[in-house]
Structure 1
Amino acid sequence: MEELNEQTVSSVAYTEENIRHLSDMEHVRTRPGMYIGRLGDGSQVEDGIYVLLKEVVDNSIDEFKMGAGKRIEIQMEDNLRVSVRDYGRGIPLGSLVDAVSMLNTGGKYDTKAFKKSVGLNGVGAKAVNALSSRFVAWSARDGQMRKAVFERGELVSDETCATDEENGTCIFFEPDDTLFQNYHFRPEFIETMLRNYTYLNTGLSIYYNGHRIVSRNGLEDL
C-alpha cells in the first residue's frame, strides 16, 4: 500500500504552472487566518469582525497618542457595517490608496511621524479592506479631501475635492458576508472594547452611536 501511495503521488504533475503569485489583497482573502485569526459570525468576542474594528480604531488611537485629535466617532449601522472617524492629522492624501491597500506600506515605519504607535506592521487597514465587501477611506487635510472606495480589496473609485471637513481620517467598512457568514456585531462586545481603550488613554473621548465613552482617571476607573 505504501508503495502504491508513493507511485500515486509521484504521478501528480508539478510544473511552473502550479506556482502562483497572489497580490496583497488576494493573499489576505485566501489566507485570512494568517492576518485576523478565526472568521466567525460575531457571536464570540475573538471573532474576526472585532479584530477588523480594532485594527481601524488602533490607527485613530495612534493619532491621539501623537497629540492629534482627542475625539473618535464610531457609527454602527444595523450591526453590520461601521465607520470610524478621527480628528487627527489625516492620512497624507497622495498616499491614501497605498496606505489602505498595499501591505507593508504606512507611516508607522517612520519614527518621526509616529513616536508612539499601537499598530506597527503595515497590515491592519489593508486586511480590513481585503475582507470587506465595501471599504471606504477618506482623509481631510487643510481644506482638501481624498476619498477611495474599494470592493473586496479592489479599488472602484478615487477622487479628490475641496472640503469643509476638519482634518482627520474616516474609515467605513462592511465585512464580506461570503467570508463572515451570518455575522452580526454584538454591541456589548464593542462597548467593552471601547471602554478599555479609554481606560488606557485618559483624555480620549469615544462616541459610539452618539453615546460618549470617556475615562477621567484611567486605570483607576477600571
Structure 2
Amino acid sequence: MNFSSWPTLLVVDVEGNGAAPPDLVEVAVLPVREGQPDTSTAGAWVTKPKHPVTPFAARVHGLTNQVLEGQPGWEEIEGAVHARLGTAWIAAHNAHVDYRVLSAHLPQWHPAGVIDTLRLARATYPDLAKYSLDALIKHVEPDLRQAPAQRHRATFDAYATAQLLIAMAGRYESWEQLVAAAVPPGLPGAPEPEQEPTLW
C-alpha cells in the first residue's frame, strides 16, 4: 500500500452519555499521515452533556458527571471540532455510530468519505470469531505503547483504531481497493454500484 496516495484521513472516536440519542462527552480526532498516526496534530475535547451521564456509560469510559462538571458545553467546542474535521475522510470502528452521532451534533458537516474498520476487518480477517476492538487488538497486536489514556476513552480508541487500520491497509494494493472493502453502502465515499446494462 502506498500511503502517500491517501487523501487526508482522520480517525475519530466519540464517547457518549449513555442516553438515546446520546449527548457527546468526548471526541478524539487523530490524523493518519504516511502510514502513521500523527499525535502532534490530533484533537481531543471533553464536554459536559446537556443530560447526565448514565451509570453504565460512566463505568465504561470513566467520565462521570462529577468529572465533567465545569467542562465546556457542546456549543462552546462545536466550532473547533467542526473546523478540525473539515471535509476530510474519517475512519472509525463501527463507523455508523460515530458518523451518526457526529452528524447529529454537526448538521453542517459533510466528510468526503467514511472508512469502517469493523467492515474492513471482516473483509481482511474473514475467519475471526469476533470483530470488536478488543478482539482485533488481541489478533493484530498493534503497538499501543504510545496510546494516550486508556481503553474506552476516545483518544485511546482512536489511536488503537488507527493502528489497526494501518495494519489492515497493508494487505491492500491501493486506496481504491481499501475503500471498496471498508466503506459501508449508503455512507459518504461508498463506491457507486455498477449498473447492469439495459436495452434503454
Give the TM-score band, short-chain normalised: under 0.3
Structure number with higher relative contact order (C-alpha < 8 Å, ≥ 6 residues apart): 2
Higher-Rg structure is 1
Point out the structure with the larger strand share. Answer: 1
TM (norm. structure 2) is 0.25
TM-score normalised according to structure 1 size: 0.23
More helix by share: 2
